[in-house]
Homo-oligomer: A and B are copies of this chain.
Amino acid sequence: MENSSQSAQVPNGGENSRPIDKLTGFEVNERFERLSQKLDVFNRASWDEGIRSAKVREFFESYFTDLAKFRPVEGFTHRDFALRNASWYVADFTADMFEATDDRKEGFLDTYTMLRPGASVPPPEQTPERNASDVKRAAKFLGADLVGICELDERWVYTHNFSRMKLEEKPLALPEGLGWVVVIANEMDRGAIETVPSALSGSATGQGYSRDIIALLSLTAFIQNLGYRAVASLNDTALSIPLAIQAGLGEYGRHGLLITREFGPRVRIAKIFTDMPLVADKPASFGVRQFCEVCGKCARSCPPKAIPFGDPEEGPLTISNLKGVRKWTVEPEKCFKFWTNQGTDCSICIRVCPYNKDYSKLVYRIGRWLSGTGLRKLMAWLDDLLGYGKRRSPKSWWGRS
């Protein structure tokens, strides 16, 4: 694993590979095909007999119904589910508001971002450099923990959106000419994630998305107010993770998640497509790829064994995976089945990841640096030895009561 300089050597994938792949580590070959949103495992739950079941329906309904699923097990009690569903409240009402009228769902938020007219023309002083600087300043102010910029890379854009009403593909709603992507990410609560498996830990997911949405909608309004076109997007329209990596927000981990310097894998991502002239950030490595090669803690800790143990391989493993990309690939079917069995989403791979640390503390910043050196194997071993990533009692999260 020390000869992992291979991660810098990306074979030529013909017309499907791009220079930026050398920096992101994705190896894209001639068999590459863009994905349709229909194949996302959450959308498959609505039409694919292999996924869809009474349990799956129950799972989705538990987010809206009278908390019928809570049980007298710590972390899955009434108040745990009450908080989990409350944390999704903002995400839900924004995602659902235009479902009936526009057949839109799962975060395609352009309907909101078109509620107010923006400015008709941008001011002359707005250069690409100043736009990039202003949009980042505004993003932080409006509630984004992380922000980065990349050029639109069509490879990660879905071929089609999916209609949950008609259960069929529909044309992609993204307008032409939006050549830039502003990617934001928001931290998920560390304490709640520590309690996974629990309904309580699902609150960190909902709260992460709700925080994303507020920053996303406001920032989109800012860009429009400056006089440009902008479309807000959550998990629809394009794959967020490769765009986030290209925008310099972090690296790709064995568990298939974005690993950021600031919060490790403990983030939720959103993005804005815009025609605002910008300056792209560069993908930045701090040694995640090589660390994941020697660590494998997430793969060992995943109850349904949905995370691969070996080297990055060419997918797909299932129809939900990208074709013709060599990378670590999780099996979403195993993953999602585990969620539905326990009645809430799972974040065990986030909890146990050695990059899930509180980096406001110097000792962890030093640890992060060492994990990017030849000592990475020792660091992975120490992480286990010192008991990091263990589950915390949900009751203790709630405090004295």
Indicate if the CB atoms of A130 and B401 lie closer than 8 Å: yes
| Set B64, B86, B221: member contacting A222, Cβ < 8 A | B86
CA distance A323 to B339 in the complex (A): 58
- Stretch among A112-120, A150-158, A241-249, A299-307 lining the B interface: A112-120
> Is residue A172 within 8 Å, beta carbon to beta carbon, of the partner chain?
no
Chain B residues with Cβ under 8 A from A93's Cβ?
Answer: 112, 115, 217
Indicate if the CB atoms of A86 and B218 lie closer than 8 Å: yes
Number of interface residues of A (CB under 8 A): 57
Indicate if the CB atoms of B222 and A82 lie closer than 8 Å: yes
Indicate if the CB atoms of B225 and A85 lie closer than 8 Å: yes
CA distance A252 to B89 in the complex (A): 33
Chain B residues with Cβ under 8 A from A214's Cβ?
Answer: 90, 210-211, 214
> Is residue A171 within 8 Å, beta carbon to beta carbon, of the partner chain?
no
Chain B residues with Cβ under 8 A from A401's Cβ?
Answer: 129-130, 133-134
> Is residue A400 within 8 Å, beta carbon to beta carbon, of the partner chain?
yes
| Set B87, B123, B398: member contacting A133, Cβ < 8 A | B398
Indicate if the CB atoms of B221 and A77 lie closer than 8 Å: no
CA distance A130 to B218 in the complex (A): 36
Indicate if the CB atoms of A116 and B225 lie closer than 8 Å: no
> Is residue A83 within 8 Å, beta carbon to beta carbon, of the partner chain?
yes
Closest to A119 in B: B67
Residue among A87, A130, A141, A189 with max Cβ neighbours from chain B (10 Å): A141
Chain B residues with Cβ under 8 A from A178's Cβ?
Answer: none
> Is residue A219 within 8 Å, beta carbon to beta carbon, of the partner chain?
yes
Report A12 CB to chain B, min CB distance, Å: 38
Indicate if the CB atoms of A192 and B120 lie closer than 8 Å: no
Q: A66-B117, A87-B142 provided; 18 other pairs, C-beta below 8 A?
A: A66-B120, A78-B226, A79-B123, A79-B226, A83-B141, A86-B138, A86-B218, A86-B222, A86-B225, A87-B141, A89-B116, A89-B217, A90-B217, A92-B116, A130-B401, A137-B398, A141-B207, A214-B214
Q: List 30 A-B contacts (CB under 8 A).
A: A66-B117, A66-B120, A67-B225, A77-B123, A78-B226, A81-B225, A82-B222, A82-B225, A83-B222, A85-B221, A85-B225, A86-B225, A87-B141, A89-B217, A89-B221, A93-B112, A93-B115, A97-B97, A130-B401, A134-B398, A137-B397, A137-B398, A137-B399, A141-B203, A141-B207, A142-B207, A143-B207, A143-B210, A207-B218, A210-B214
